[in-house]
Chains A and B, each alone.
Chain A
Amino acid sequence: MSKKEKLTNMLIDKYYNERYDINTTNKKKNLKEIDLHNNTLDKSINVSVFENNMNKALEKMDLVDNIDFNISMDTLKIIEMAKRIQIKRRCFKENIYFIITSILILSVFSVIFLRVGIKGIIYFQLVIVFFLPWCLIPLAKYTLGREQNE
């Protein structure tokens, strides 16, 4: 990097009040250097001309600071849309979990019944018919209550 480039970079940092310098990590040192060599530098590489142009250019940039397009957006609608997406995603996840769990349970039972035989299936069905309502009704109540709270 040439000396001129280094100095112009420093001037940009100075304009933006930045302390960070990749080589010296010391902005004060940079400014001191500019001040020290200012007279000679002005003659050789026109630092002040650059600074002047930079100030004018960056001032011009402020013209677009307040620029606006006719955009209007309802944030509440966006929140609603996001909620709908969240519900869709949750439903999708729940369906996937349901399918995976069902497949797992059915495979486990198939293996068990293959080993135990027809008697086992009948006993199992009797147990299920008797106990399942006692489990499902409280479980459904709990799930519905949780959904209403949400």
Chain B
Amino acid sequence: MDELELIEKAKMGNKSALNMLLTENYNFLKGYIIKMTGDPTLSQDILQETMLKAVLNIKKFLPKAKFSTWLITIATNLYRDNLRKNKNLKVLDENMVSTSINPEEATISKFEYREILQIIQGLRYEKRAVFILKHFYDYSYVDIAIILKCPIGTVRSRLHYSVKYIIVELERRGIINE
């Protein structure tokens, strides 16, 4: 079934359409939140709150953008609010599981991906969001600007800063060599 059709049905109160919409976007949303927070408990809370808010406000959703983009916007806002409430959050947990193809490769890269996740967490949340949306999800500057409600120039400069920061950090930690 087409996404628009599902949205229309969900707006009419159809539970299975709503469930399908959430299930289809679940992994995408989860991946984004995990990369943003780097913390399993917080990821779970934000994931649940995002979906709850999406269900509560589904009637307000205008299908100008994709449903996933709307979910990302909600998740980003919730994460920002959470950061404002508790000014902490730099936890990297042992529950982290890499789903890399090869187990040997996974073991070798375990150290590296923890380091990489730490580097991503080292960025401020707004820069992190820009980098994650651009690098992992290939959103355009325009879309990111809409999601984060900021000018395109700001998105661009945040991405530039993030990439440069990541290069410097990877070099400093010896993960890449000059």
Q: Mark A residues whose CB is within 8 Å of B.
A: 8-9, 12-13, 15-16, 18, 20, 22, 49-50, 53-54, 56-58, 60-61, 63-71, 73, 75-76, 78-79, 81-83, 85-86, 150
Q: Mark B residues whose CB is within 8 Å of A.
A: 13, 15, 18-19, 22-23, 26, 30-31, 34-35, 40, 43-44, 47-48, 51-52, 55-56, 93, 95-100, 109, 112-113, 116-117, 120, 134-136, 138, 140-142, 152-153, 156, 159-160, 163-164, 166-167, 170-171, 175-176, 178
Interface SS majority for chain A: helix
Complex Cα distance, B164 from A15, in Å, reads 13
- Counted as pairs of residues, one from A and one from B, with CB atoms less than 8 Å apart, the total is 130
Question: Mind listing 19 A-B residue pairs with CB under 8 Å?
Answer: A8-B160, A8-B164, A12-B159, A20-B152, A22-B153, A53-B167, A57-B167, A60-B112, A64-B120, A66-B100, A67-B99, A69-B96, A70-B40, A70-B95, A71-B40, A76-B19, A82-B56, A83-B55, A86-B56
**Candidates A67, A70, A78; contact of B52 at CB < 8 Å:** A78
Interface SS majority for chain B: helix
A56 cross-chain contacts in B, Cβ below 8 A: 170, 176
- In contact, A79 and B175 (Cβ under 8 angstroms): no
Complex Cα distance, B56 from A86, in Å, reads 7
- In contact, A82 and B52 (Cβ under 8 angstroms): yes
Complex Cα distance, B99 from A145, in Å, reads 52
